[in-house]
Amino acid sequence: MLAGLMGFFAAGCSDATNTAPESSKDAFIDSVLSTLTLEDKAGEMTQLTLDMVCVKEGMNVDEPHRLDPEKLKHVLVDLRVGSILNCAGHAYTPEKWHELIGGIQDKATEKPSGIPVLYGIDAIHGPTYTTGGVLAPQQLGLAATWDTALVRKFAENAAQEVLASGIPWNFSPVLDVARDARWPRFWETFGESPRLVTDMGVAMVKGYQEGPSPIAACLKHYMGYSRPLSGKDRTPAWIPERQLREIFLPPFAAAVEAGAATVMVNSGETNGIPVHADRHILTDILRDELGFEGLVVTDWEDIRYLFKRHKVAADYKDAIEMAIHAGIDMSMVPTDTLFPVLLAELVREGRIAESRLDESVRRILSVKYDRGLFDTGGMPPSIEDYPDKASLEGTAARAALESMTLLKNEGQHAVYPDQPILPIGGTGRILVTGPTANSLNALNGGWTGTWQGRNPKYNTPGRPTAVESMREVFGADRIDLAELDMEFGQADIDAVTRSLHPRTTQCAVVFLGEMPYTEFKGNVETIELFQNQQDLVKAIHATDVPVIGVYVGGRPRTHSAIEPLLDAFLMAYLPGDYGARAIADVLSGDFNPSGRLPFTWPRHPSSHLTHDCKHTELNEGGFNPQYTFGSGLSYSPVQTTNLEILTGESANMGDTVTVEVTLQNTGDRSTTETVIVYSQDRVASITPSVDELAAYKQVVVPAGATSKVTLDVHTHNLGFIGRNNMYIVEPGYFGLRIQDQFAEFELIAP
């Protein structure tokens, strides 16, 4: 059957991506769907992990990984499974990916339907499971660039490598809005601002889906996943619908509008209802309100969890019925073969209408059609066409540089006493220490080579650690390494301080932070910086050697006790394979830092406030962060003055308000300045936030130059979700702020 369908399709398809008119697509899918049996449909809605078709002993896949012909036949031919995901534990070379996916797709031709398999992967900061791939910063670091064009280019590049491995579906981007630094997936997000997450998310979706090698994006994790009450992964969230719509829905709504092909569902529960069983969220909002027509896939094992963990279903069969009626299209099963069997039984028993399966299968076939699988049979492209790595590295390296966020630079320079301690300069010796100083795993974080990103065996060959790049930039003869692991103790600290002397050591660069983790493996009881790292800073400070802190990690750890002891502090995030050189170039002054925090760094472990907190949270010193959202210094400061509203003291609903501000570079270097406009609704029917991100723009201000910059604030964006859970913009007075400059205008009702 497939050969005939491919002939029908080929006239409207180019290479691996469909460009045929919608009517041709509909006709093709109608034709395929009309031939499918109930078992075919149930199989299409099933996604299994690669482990399920590999040779293995017990739970362990044999090395080297290889397909098991009998398991492959059972999964694809007998059960007609429509999708495979993951990597069975670790990264592969492009050639190995071709071998595995080629074998899967070859066997798929023996399915009764002949429909190719839709393969998916978590390539969240580049091709994370392809050996030697170009790995950029994780999303939190990308957000710190405030550069949506750069993020889109990164996504285009990542798509090229992912597709070249034979994978047309990427479980990215994460559009969860990170409101609590305790949450272990904080680093996978674009930060705490719905506006910034929205802009970055849309840029990434367009990069994946509209670039030269388009792949299907997948929006994660729809929605409310990032605000569990306990701060721990997959624990209950309590989010009233008004806040759900105001904070967590906008990034998904915008990405759906931008054409995102697929959505992955929040694994947790919101207000006592597991999202995988919440028809209101999955159908009423996603389908009926947002108009999403694409594929909705579960997260890992989450239908089974409806009865195993959430206890809202009596058994697996009840859980399947519940999830399908809520709006699920595909189950990421991923490690049993019962799902398609039970789903077919539910239809035969009349508990699920076959027409409901038709809806889901149509969406699945649509994604396969759009990705050109019916034309290529899902087979990987020629290995000779794998993209040249050198052509992709520049974007990742640039993103790492632009993400670097200098948060403090107040210490006295050892060589030039009238200047801040950074950039380092001079010729003296530099002590490098701390547990993240000599680890490429620390620079990349989770989802790198392996799920947790901790196995150095799967690091990119040849990429340097931070200390290795410092040796290259400053000269090996200037760098003294006092290597420490995460469990170092007082004896190790004593050894470090014994090697120091103010006369011979110009400064100490202390690499702080965390080693890789993700999901529940990163759950913590406190976000305070590890005590041994604080003790290390105290001990070095006591020697009178200046201390430069570099934080490598995915969430802000509180360190108020030692922050005054740091002469400078650089936030490096999880900058990827090119992050080591970016850190060294900022410390040396070869690059003038331009990153800005995409979150609020708390001063105390119990503080979880954001930049858009409420006025009552300012009482009694309630909002007192270590560093505010948008913070970031450069080596050539830019002063902001003369904020003026060019469009006048009033505006009508629907107008665009244009503001102008003067920027003066007071230093001797060109600076990339991110100009951020915050708005304040003076009086509203729902308590307004102290600040809301209203607009931002990056401009380059040459050394010593003065320039005027204009930004537009759209009045439509000055609203909020009202008491009836509908978006509303109310007339009245609004403030605008850029740095310490304020202006005000009146918004007039029509």
Q: What pLDDT digit, counting tens, does each position of 73-90 carry?
A: 999 999 999 999 999 999
Rounded mean pLDDT, 359-380: 97
Burial track 203-234 (b if 16+ CB lie within 10 A, e otherwise): bbbbbbbebebbbbbbbbbbbbbbbbeebbbb
Can you give the pLDDT at residue 18?
Answer: 63
State the average pLDDT over residues 145-165: 98
Span 430-449, mean pLDDT? 98
Q: What is the pLDDT of residue 88?
A: 94
- On the 0-12 / 13-18 / 19+ scale of CB atoms within 10 A, 657 is buried
Q: Is the pLDDT of residue 6 over 60?
A: no
Average pLDDT over residues 277-304: 98
Q: Residue 508: which region, alpha, beta or left (left: phi > 0; alpha: psi -120 to 50)?
A: beta
Return d(Cα 93, Cα 97) in angstroms, integer: 6
Question: For tokens 């200047």, what's the residue?
Answer: 419
CA-closest candidate to residue 143, choices 573, 556, 557, 672: 573
Q: How far apart are CA 446 and CA 567, in angstroms?
A: 30
Residue 415 has a pLDDT of 67
pLDDT band at 1 (very low <50, low <70, confident <90, very high): very low
In 634-717, where does DSSP find H-type helix?
Answer: none
User: What pLDDT is stored for residue 509 in this prediction?
Assistant: 98
Q: Which residues are catalytic?
A: 299
Task: Quickly state the pLDDT bin for 14 (edges 50, 70, 90).
Answer: very low
CATH fold, domain 38-49+124-385, is TIM Barrel (3.20.20)
pLDDT value of position 23: 86
Write the DSSP assignment of 668-688 as a string of letters.
Answer: SS-EEEEEEEEEEESS-SSPP
If we measure between CA atoms, which residue out of 340, 335, 293 comes closest to residue 317? Answer: 340
Indicate the angle between helix axes 2-10 and 22-35, nearest 10 degrees: 170
Chain region(s) in the chain for CATH 3.40.50.1700 = 404-621
Closest CA to 190 of 234, 133, 250: 250
pLDDT at 4: 34
Stretch 362-390: mean pLDDT: 96
What is the Cα–Cα distance from 517 to 258, expressed in whole angstroms? 31
Position 9 confidence tier, pLDDT thresholds 50, 70, 90: very low
Provide the CATH number for the domain formed by 638-748 in this structure.
2.60.40.10
Annotate 67-122 with DSSP letters as a single string. B-HHHHIIIIIIS---EEES-TTS-B-HHHHHHHHHHHHHHHTTSSS-PPPEEEE-
Task: Report the 3 state secondary structure along 286-343.
Answer: HHHHCCCCCEEECCCCCCCHHHHCCCCCCCHHHHHHHHHHHCCCEEECCCCCCHHHHH
pLDDT at position 512 over 60: yes
Judge contact between 286 and 222, C-beta under 8 A: yes
How confident is the model over 729-742, as a mean pLDDT?
97
Listed in order, the ranges of the chain carrying CATH 2.60.40.10 are 638-748
Q: Which residue in 148, 129, 231, 152 sits closest to 186, CA to CA?
A: 231
pLDDT at 12: 31
**pLDDT (average), residues 686-693:** 97
pLDDT of 337 higher than 90: yes
Whole-angstrom Cα distance, residue 598 to residue 453? 23
Q: What is the spatial distance between Cα 216 and Cα 16, in angstroms, rounded to a whole number?
A: 12
Residue 100 has pLDDT above 90, yes or no: yes
Neighbouring C-alpha atoms within 13 Å toward the C-beta of 143: 36
Separation between Cα atoms, residue 674 and residue 407, nearest integer Å: 14
Q: Which of 263, 351, 350 is nearest to 313 (CA)?
A: 351
Q: Residues 513-541: what's their mean pLDDT?
A: 97
| Whether pLDDT at 493 is above 50 | yes
CATH number, domain 404-621, options 3.40.50.150, 3.30.1700.10, 3.40.50.1700, 3.40.50.720: 3.40.50.1700
Mean pLDDT of 557-581: 98
Token pair belonging to 540: 């070095």
Confidence of residue 497 (pLDDT cuts 50, 70, 90): very high
Give the helix ranges, DSSP H, for 146-249.
Answer: 148-164, 194-210, 241-243
d(C-alpha 274, C-alpha 243), whole Å:
18
Pairing between β-strand 17-18 and β-strand 46-49 as defined by DSSP bridges: unpaired
Query: 69 falls in which pLDDT band (50, 70, 90)?
Result: very high
Flag whether pLDDT at 21 surpasses 80: no
Instruction: CATH 3.20.20.300 in the chain: give the residue spans.
Output: 38-49+124-385
pLDDT digits (tens, 9 = 90+) for 189-240: 999 999 999 999 999 999 999 999 999 999 999 999 999 999 999 999 999 9
Closest CA to 442 of 318, 523, 594, 553: 553
- The chain-wide mean pLDDT, for the chain, equals 95
Picking from 8, 7, 13, the residue whose alpha carbon sits closest to that of residue 28 is 8
Interval 29-50 mean pLDDT? 98
Higher pLDDT, 41 or 414: 41
From residue 614, give the alpha-carbon distance in Å to each of 96, 401, 622, 682, 730: 53, 34, 10, 12, 18
What is the rounded distance in angstroms from the CA atom of residue 133 to the CA atom of residue 332?
26
pLDDT at 544: 93
Instruction: Please tell me the predicted confidence (pLDDT) of residue 206.
Output: 98
CA dihedral angle for residue 237, residue 241, residue 242, residue 243, rounded to 10 degrees: 20
714 phi and psi angles, rounded to 5 deg: -85, 125
Lowest-confidence range among 92-96, 136-140, 622-626, 707-711?
Answer: 622-626
pLDDT above 60 for 19:
no
Query: Residue 339 and residue 323: Cα distance in Å, rounded?
Result: 12
Which pair of structure tokens corresponds to residue 352?
């699920």
What's the pTM? Answer: 0.95
Residue 147 has pLDDT above 80, yes or no: yes
pLDDT of residue 17: 58
Mean pLDDT to the nearest integer, 282-302: 98
End-to-end CA distance of the chain: 61
Share of the chain above pLDDT 70, in %: 97
CA 378 – CA 215 distance, rounded (Å)? 12
* Residue 11 confidence (pLDDT): 28
Kindly state the average pLDDT of the residues 60-84.
97
- What's the pLDDT score for residue 13? 33
Q: What local confidence, expressed as pLDDT, does residue 7 receive?
A: 33
Q: With left for phi above 0 and alpha for psi between -120 and 50, is residue 166 left, alpha or beta?
A: left
